[in-house]
Structure 1
Amino acid sequence: MPRTVVLDPVQEASLDRLVAAGRYGSSEEAIAAGVALLLRHEDRLATLHQSWHEGVESGDYQPLDATLDALEARYGALEKASP
């Protein structure tokens, strides 16, 4: 189904350069490649979210803030001990 896509001037110029350089055969092909990348990114985010949720549900996790605080204390102590 045809769709109108509005690009800002920088996006439009970038798209034109990609097509002119022969990287893509048309603007539509370049946009389709961009949408494919977006979909892969969304799939990866969904996988990460699901993995995180499973980890939390397992009960064997520590909140990130506590982990970061422990790392900061550990490496802060190492820096102070270094000459």
Structure 2
Amino acid sequence: MVRRRVPLVTLTLIAVGLVAGGLWWWAVLRLLLVPGESGAVEGAIAAGGWGLSLLPVHVAASSRPPARLTRAWRRHRSGAGSGPS
């Protein structure tokens, strides 16, 4: 069996994602189960998580290749010739 080391950044992102997901579920369940006791914080967390779920739909990668960058150039005046050497 081959063991691979997982970078610390990856583990941190996974942990943050799990905590954020747990917080969102807590807020949604609190809003559903005890709506009289839940407040603005739970509503904001639930709405924010729902808004983030829509993000991948609107920020999808394009199927066409990226545009090529061009080099900037200065336009010479007609009849100006080259500058002093």
TM-score under structure 1 length normalisation: 0.35
TM-score under structure 2 length normalisation: 0.34
Structure showing greater relative contact order (alpha-carbon pairs closer than 8 Å, 6 or more residues apart): 2
